[in-house]
Structure 1
Amino acid sequence: MTYTAQMIETYPAEIELDHQELARVIDALSNCAQTCTACADACLSEPADELPRLARCIRDNLDCADICTTTASVLSRHTGYDAALTHAQVRAALQATKTCGDSCEEHASTHEHCRICAQACRETQQALESLLPKLEPKGQGPRQPSQAAPQQGG
């Protein structure tokens, strides 16, 4: 059991998602972010004459890494949960993983790091596609923070 899964299991309030699926998605996002960061760095280490051809791939890698990291963080927070915001963030991660996966696939035959990154993006994209319908906002605004949420007095 990953630390992510352990933390979800110890959460003191109710989480209305399948705990195992949620942990898998958060872990996939974290792994994808790391892979995209490493791929961008590997692209930058390629011969200088290849860098112009890899510029978009590097940018897509860095965007995807940042968005995946943010999405993993948003999915890890449940107190004061806002379904509309979470849904929008997951949709952004879906787009980022698709864009980065497409970009890396263009170079996969010549750069092994791009092949690996494309695979990580596709797997994360699939996990997000499975989770997204379960996050659909139900026509309500943000929930009030739970009693467990520390509030600052004024």
Structure 2
Amino acid sequence: MSLVEKLLDAYPAETGMPPKMLGEAVDKLYECAGVCLTCADAAAAEQDPEKIVMSIKCVRLDNDCADLCTVAARILARQTGYDAPTTMAIIEATRTVLRASADAAEEFKGTPYFELSAKECRETEQLLGRLAEQMGSSDAGEGYPTSPPSATTPAGASMGGGAETSGTSEASQEVSEEQLREMNMDELRDMARDKGLSGVHDMRKEELIDAISGKRGS
């Protein structure tokens, strides 16, 4: 377990994502930033005029990639006051420049520093892709905490503060837990509202499923 993972694991509220996955992403982003900066520096030391001219775009992308990777790592490491749309936008922007940087570097076959940079960018982009998928493509990480639990709010309680009811409707009674897990967040929220539940916007998927299936107490 890396130091970043340990710090995220020690976070006093729920992170919404496994600390291991978040820690791996933060560490990889910082590593990629270092690789891209080193690659750009190596390209600047080239003696071949033709290669220098050809690598201008690649060097620019290396620097852009290093900047965005650093920003993404800092954003992901912050869990207090988490804002899902901002985080997802940063992740997607970073993935875009990672792909562009890898594409440009791969044009310089046989140049070790460009080959290493391309490999690192590909790996980092793929890791961010898995992270984004885990967060939920349509809901952009809905369910992350917006702040640590207060002294009067149990850690597992809904952040919405609304009272919840345990009433059931005929429609939801016919839906199995397995079917609920296949639904997206919007569908689950609609079903929860139909059951008269409140505070559904701040519930995580598991909380919604438990509430709809009647596992959560009133």
Indicate the residue corresponding to 1:40 in structure 2.
40
**How far apart are the structure 2 equivalents of 1:144 and 1:15?**
10
**How far apart are the structure 2 equivalents of 1:122 and 1:88?**
19
Indicate the residue corresponding to 1:82 in structure 2.
83
**How far apart are the structure 2 equivalents of 1:114 and 1:47?**
15
Matching residue's letter, 2:135? L
Instruction: Kindly provide the CA deviation profile for residues 87-143 of structure 1, in whole angstroms up to 9, marking residues without a partner as x.
Output: 000001110110111111111x23100000000001001100101123346387x97
Instruction: Kindly provide the CA deviation profile for residues 53-81 of structure 1, in whole angstroms up to 9, marking residues without a partner as x.
Output: 11000000000000000000000000100
**How far apart are the structure 1 equivalents of 2:134 and 2:123?**
18
Task: Return closer, same or farther for 1:17/1:67 CA change in 2, 3 Å cut-off.
Answer: same
Give 3-state SS (helix, strand or coil) of 2:55's partner: helix
Matching residue's letter, 1:64? C
Q: CA deviation at 1:19?
A: 1.5
Q: Which has the higher helix share?
A: 1
**How far apart are the structure 2 equivalents of 1:120 and 1:54?**
18
- Structure 1 residue runs of 5 or longer lacking an equivalent are 149-154
**How far apart are the structure 2 equivalents of 1:62 and 1:68?**
10
Q: CA deviation at 1:48?
A: 5.0
Q: CA deviation at 1:147?
A: 6.0
Give 3-state SS (helix, strand or coil) of 1:14's partner: coil
Matching residue's letter, 1:82? D
Give 3-state SS (helix, strand or coil) of 2:17's partner: coil
RMSD, aligned α-carbons: 1.9
Indicate the residue corresponding to 2:73 in structure 1.
72
**How far apart are the structure 1 equivalents of 2:12 and 2:146?**
16
Indicate the residue corresponding to 2:211 in structure 1.
none
**How far apart are the structure 1 equivalents of 2:21 and 2:148?**
23
Give 3-state SS (helix, strand or coil) of 1:79's partner: coil
**How far apart are the structure 1 equivalents of 2:112 and 2:9?**
37
Indicate the residue corresponding to 1:61 in structure 2.
62
Indicate the residue corresponding to 2:153 in structure 1.
none
Give 3-state SS (helix, strand or coil) of 1:47's partner: coil
- The higher radius of gyration belongs to 2
Tell me which moved more, 127-136 or 52-61: 127-136
Matches within 5 A, 1:1-154: 1-49=1-49, 50-107=51-108, 109-136=109-136, 138=139, 144-146=146-148
Relative contact order (alpha carbons < 8 A, sep ≥ 6): 1 or 2 greater?
Answer: 1
- Structure 2 residue runs of 5 or longer lacking an equivalent are 151-218
Conservation of the 8 A alpha-carbon contact between 1:97 and 1:121: yes
